[in-house]
Structure 1
Amino acid sequence: MNQLLFMIHNSLELYESLCQPVCRNCNLPQTALDILLFLANNPEYDTARDICRVRGIKANLVSFHVEKLVQEEYLQREPVPGDRRQVKLLLTEKSQTVVEQGRAVQQNYREILTAHITPSDMEVFGRCMDTIRQNIEDAKHTETKAKLTEKGDKKR
């Protein structure tokens, strides 16, 4: 397990170091770049709440960086019809250059990570990741059911 933790840590360090030229060139902090790329790569997730929930960035950081990105015209806000509390975040024309540069970094990062891995090993890895994802979802579902049952037992 320690190997996995070190690998994840080193992988994130590598990714951030690969992103630094884009961040410097565009005068953006890493978190702001992460937000723009998340929105570009995941159009089905287009709210600050989605970024927090799916990308795992803390709400105060998302709020701060979204505000700056709106002020700098990389993002614009659009109200969600029928839900005044929800606001969609839309990439602007200005963000397209940043997104293109960021996606090039992401492609380079993928190539570095998968160098010397055969297609058959990648298939096995993909199946393992799918199984781990399913195990996590099953465990979360089981934990949620247990909490609901526990709450029901306390009400009696």
Structure 2
Amino acid sequence: MNPELEFARKTALAYNALCRPLCQELNLPQTAFDILMFLGNNPSYKTASDIVEIRHIKANLVSVNVDRLVREGYLMRQEVKGDRRKTELICTEKAQPVIRRGQKLQRTFFDRLLENTDEQTRNAFFAAMKIMEKNIDMILEETK
């Protein structure tokens, strides 16, 4: 298997495994938890279509899980003034402790990923990521 693909696959598997106990405790499917964390971590993204576009979760899964999160009181829907067709998803007070626990879990996961690396290696990794991001931006700009 392609090493880059294998790395991405294993990263997702490890993250989901680390999330599993919290998801079970909260009785939330991984996708619902991912949606809640996406909205909590990225307040500028507020719609179901943002979740589909940015997180690449299928629209039907977003719809089902957003409905569940609304029903269970973690999210509320709010119409955008001036555009009845657009609905924003707002994290409720009930969602806040879940988001905080999820953010702690995410920090733990990232710290574990970087375990056994020295500062020089970490700095080189982040520098390479910045360069790749600029390259990606140039590719996207060229293909508009």
TM-score interval, smaller chain: over 0.9
Aligned equivalent of 1:15: 15
Give ranges in structure 1 of 5+ residues lacking alignment.
Answer: 145-156
Q: Describe the superposition over 1:41-93 as per-residue Cα deviations: whole angstroms up to 9, x where unpaired.
A: 11111111111111111111111110111011110011111222211111111
- Within a 5 Å distance, the mapping from 1:125-140 to structure 2 comes to 125-140=125-140
For 1:136 and 1:60, the matched residues in 2 are separated by 29
Moved more, 48-57 or 17-26: 48-57
Q: Describe the superposition over 1:72-123 as per-residue Cα deviations: whole angstroms up to 9, x where unpaired.
A: 1110011111222211111111112221221121111011101122222222
Q: Describe the superposition over 1:102-156 as per-residue Cα deviations: whole angstroms up to 9, x where unpaired.
A: 1121111011101122222222211211221222222222223xxxxxxxxxxxx
Structure with higher Rg: it is 1
Aligned equivalent of 2:120: 120
For 1:83 and 1:131, the matched residues in 2 are separated by 39
Equivalent pairs: percent with the same residue? 42
**TM score, norm. by length of structure 2:** 0.93
Q: 1:11 offset after TM fit, Å?
A: 0.8
> AA paired with 2:96?
Q
Aligned equivalent of 1:51: 51
Aligned equivalent of 1:104: 104
Query: How many residues are treated as equivalent by the alignment?
Result: 144
Aligned equivalent of 1:151: none
For 2:48 and 2:89, the matched residues in 1 are separated by 7
- Within a 5 Å distance, the mapping from 1:62-81 to structure 2 comes to 62-81=62-81
Q: 1:23 offset after TM fit, Å?
A: 0.6
For 1:138 and 1:59, the matched residues in 2 are separated by 29
More helix by share: 1
For 1:138 and 1:49, the matched residues in 2 are separated by 25
Misfit runs of 4+, over 6 Å: none
